[in-house]
Amino acid sequence: MAYELYYWPGIQGRGEFVRLALEYAGADYRDVAREGPAGMKALLTGLEAGGRPSFAPPYLKDGDTVVGQTAAILFYLGPRLGLVPEGEADRLWIHQVQLTIADLVVEAHDTHHPVAVGLYYDQQKPEALRRSAEFRDNRIPRFLGWLEQILTRNPGRSGWLVGEALTYADLSAFQVVEGLRYAFPKAAARALKATPHLADLARRVGEDRRLRPYLESDRRIPFNEDGIFRRYRELDG
């Protein structure tokens, strides 16, 4: 039976981390809310109904199993899609990397929404300018530097974050690099100059023949100013 992904239809957002894993693995899946109004209604109903409602999208249905929280979805899918090695310790470490990437995603989002998700960007622009400066100068280098360190300390020197082969954490690292390049082209370029192994990982994922068809398809929603990574020129620098 096909996996069912439930996520907002107009943005990459957090759903994209799950999409990349499903697409890379060639999994059979439905992107339910993008199928039309009935799909969107199903997404909202799923948030309200049942004994185990997710707090927010994305959530994934696999038969009777429903899993929410991006990192938990990937932890669930990893072994099923062949995107993690065997062994509890490695799988937990990959999950830990993913959770740290999720922390970076929250901070990237909050650069344009430092006050309230319920307000527009224009209603919190002075705050956004201050928060973005901090994010550019301190947080991007710190997070990307951490990923660089993991790459260089991987004993296998495989070019991947964990172990000998690509895992979902590598796909997610690619995605945040792409997102940062979109939203903060200048700051991202500076940070990536200091993290060449990470830049190389992102290049290899982007050119991968299993992922390339997806990235070039219209299933890949373009970055836009409704998503997590938004290009507001005044926030970069």
Binding residues for a second copy, rule: CB under 8 A, are 50-55, 65, 67-69, 71-72, 75-76, 89, 92-93, 95-96, 99-100, 103, 106, 110, 114-116, 118-119, 124, 127, 130-131, 134, 138, 143, 146, 149-150, 153-155
Shortest reach from residue 93's CB to a second copy, in Å: 6
Shortest reach from residue 213's CB to a second copy, in Å: 31
**Do 32 and 216 touch, CB atoms closer than 8 A?**
no
Toward a second copy, which CB reaches closer, 35 or 103? 103
Shortest reach from residue 106's CB to a second copy, in Å: 6
Toward a second copy, which CB reaches closer, 42 or 72? 72
List the structure tokens of 213. Answer: 């068809």
Closest alpha carbon to 205 in 20, 18, 11 = 20
Sort residue 167 into left (φ over 0), alpha (ψ -120 to 50) or beta: beta
Closest alpha carbon to 214 in 161, 162, 174, 159 = 174
Toward a second copy, which CB reaches closer, 100 or 220? 100
Toward a second copy, which CB reaches closer, 93 or 229? 93
Q: Which residue has the tokens 């990397």?
A: 97
Shortest reach from residue 54's CB to a second copy, in Å: 7
Cα(192)–Cα(183) distance, rounded to whole angstroms? 14
Toward a second copy, which CB reaches closer, 139 or 223? 139
How many residues make up the chain in this entry? 237
Shortest reach from residue 72's CB to a second copy, in Å: 5
Backbone φ, ψ for residue 4 (5° rounding): -120, 115
Toward a second copy, which CB reaches closer, 151 or 221? 151
- What one-character-per-residue DSSP string does 156-190 give? T--SSSSSSS--HHHHHHHHHHHHHHHH-HHHHHH
Shortest reach from residue 147's CB to a second copy, in Å: 9
Cα(140)–Cα(102) distance, rounded to whole angstroms? 13
